[in-house]
Amino acid sequence: MRLNSFFVLIVDTDPAGSAAWRAAVPLARMDRQVYSVQTSSEAIEYVLKVRRSPSLSTPGVVMVESNRSKDPLSAIGRWLKCQETLAWVVPIALVDRRASEDLSGYYEAGARSCLHSPENLDERVAVLSEVRNYWQVLNVWPNPEGHR
């Protein structure tokens, strides 16, 4: 089943990073499909909010900029891991190129996929495009409404 409204939640603690993601969204043709927050608390609050609202969709993908945190997927990763009804949500860790030798910690923390952390606008557009092309176009999701 395809998600009626696929969208991506990005957690990036750096305000400049959030702004850069916002700039990348239209270039990746993902207007209204990306929402960016700066903390895990905001991300959890947002997911809880959309789950309470029948008119809003739960994000299919949660991308966590992991470079600026000692905690691989930060609190949102741990939280998602504990939510049985959100088992279909895909946490993706964005990982520094220099730290990509040993990724077991990211996967242990609940990441289902790890991607190189983008370093500029073009790379951000590329990451969003790859995520859309796979997770929106190819992946088949269980009926999200069935989990509400």
Binding site for another protein (CB under 8 A): 1, 87-88, 90, 95, 100-101, 103-104, 106-108, 112-116, 130, 133-135, 137-143, 146
Closest of 134, 137, 120 to residue 23, by C-alpha? 120
* Minimum gap (Å) between residue 103 Cβ and another protein: 5
Residue carrying structure tokens 């895909």: 90
* Minimum gap (Å) between residue 8 Cβ and another protein: 15
Q: Between residues 14 and 130, which has the closer beta carbon with respect to another protein? A: 130
* Minimum gap (Å) between residue 94 Cβ and another protein: 10
Crossing angle of helices 40-52 and 74-82, rounded to 10°: 40
Gap between the Cα atoms of 104 and 42, Å rounded? 26
- DSSP character at residue 100: T
Q: Between residues 82 and 140, which has the closer beta carbon with respect to another protein? A: 140
Q: Report which secondary-structure segment, H or E, holds 65.
A: strand 61-65
* Minimum gap (Å) between residue 42 Cβ and another protein: 26
Pair 3, 131: CB distance under 8 Å: no
Q: Between residues 7 and 37, which has the closer beta carbon with respect to another protein? A: 7
- DSSP character at residue 110: T
Q: Between residues 4 and 100, which has the closer beta carbon with respect to another protein? A: 100
